[in-house]
Amino acid sequence: MLVFIAQNYAEVSREAARMVAGAIRRRPDLRLGLASGSTQVGMYQELVRMHREEALDFSRVVTFNLDEYVGLPAEHPQSFHSFMFRNFFDHVNIPKKQIHIPEGTLRGNFDETCAHYEEAIRRAGGIDLQILGIGKDGHIGFNEPASSLASRMRVKTLTRRTIQDNRAGFASGEEMPRAAITMGIGTILEARRILLLGAGARKARAVALAVEGPVTASVTASALQLHRDATILVDRDAAANLRHKEYYQSALAMTRKLTPGRLW
């Protein structure tokens, strides 16, 4: 696990976009796993800028989003489908047929839907780079505390904390989704590379537990300690509780010197 501590959110966004762009330039048909959340907005804005000003080409990229609320139609402003098109897909040249977002409004068999989504990932050759955010309780995707570390894509009931954290985006009196369809931890760990973004003091405890705590289902992001190629990109506020910041900076400098390709 490589830990990159940026000065602020703007630098997190720039560095994340630089890493994604580098991966695309090395492999134009990159299989890219995406996350929808406020932390990723700055990265998407920078990628859009690079597309417009630096001719970053997304035409062969294939994307797979992590999750979606159960019960929200795609056109709902708070659906992750709407989030992704509003913040990213509407502004770059990824063909719609290459965009995959879980369907959360099906009335049929969700197990079958999840199996088909994972099969689509397999048919595409697997995910080359998975982008993640982190919840205040240390969850990734919608893999709430107590999720199996071997879990596959499935429907998860949301915790009261997640519901409260996400309620701000919904209109007063509007029913907040109580469940989501999400890639599982086992699914996420199959990505060849993982990039987790974190920003702000409210994420500091979760980041410290994920990076330096025990591997536990109580903090699902801690499973990334088991991944062969995970990068944690956080700002100084989100890194505040890390005990080994000096070592992480030294390790980053040595990685730049000895294996620059490791840094995208």
Q: 3-state class of 260 per DSSP?
A: helix
Active-site pick, 137, 190, 227, 235 = 137
CA 196 to chain centre: 6
Compute the residue count for the chain: 264
Give the range of the structural domain holding residue 46, as residue numbers without chain letter. 2-263
Q: 3-state class of 123 per DSSP?
A: helix
57 assigned to active site? no
Q: Please, are residues 251 and 211 in contact by the beta-carbon 8 Å criterion?
A: no
Instruction: Count the neighbouring beta carbons within 10 Å of the beta carbon of residue 181.
Output: 26
67 assigned to active site? yes
Tell me the Ramachandran region of residue 124: left when phi exceeds 0, alpha when psi lies from -120 to 50, beta otherwise: alpha
CATH number at 57 reads 3.40.50.1360
Active-site pick, 15, 46, 67, 118 = 67
- pLDDT, residue 108, reads 63
139 assigned to active site? yes
Start-to-end CA span in the chain (Å): 14
* Cα 254-199-93 angle, rounded to 5 deg: 90
CA distances from 106 to 79, 110, 155, 232, 245 (A): 14, 7, 12, 34, 45
- pLDDT, residue 126, reads 98
Instruction: Count the neighbouring beta carbons within 10 Å of the beta carbon of residue 252.
Output: 17
pLDDT digits (tens, 9 = 90+) for 35-49: 999 999 999 999 999
Can you list the residues of the chain whose pLDDT is less than 70?
Answer: 107-108, 263-264
- pLDDT, residue 263, reads 67
Residues 6+ apart with CB under 8 A from 183: 33, 64, 66, 67, 141, 153
Active-site pick, 128, 139, 227, 235 = 139
Q: How many domains does one find in the chain?
A: 1
Q: Please, are residues 230 and 196 in contact by the beta-carbon 8 Å criterion?
A: yes
What is the Cα–Cα distance from 130 to 111, expressed in whole angstroms?
A: 23
What is the Cα–Cα distance from 92 to 89, expressed in whole angstroms?
A: 6
Active-site pick, 15, 68, 128, 144 = 144
Q: Which tokens hold the place of 62?
A: 């294939």
Total-model pTM = 0.95
CA distances from 117 to 31, 71, 152, 188 (A): 14, 18, 11, 13
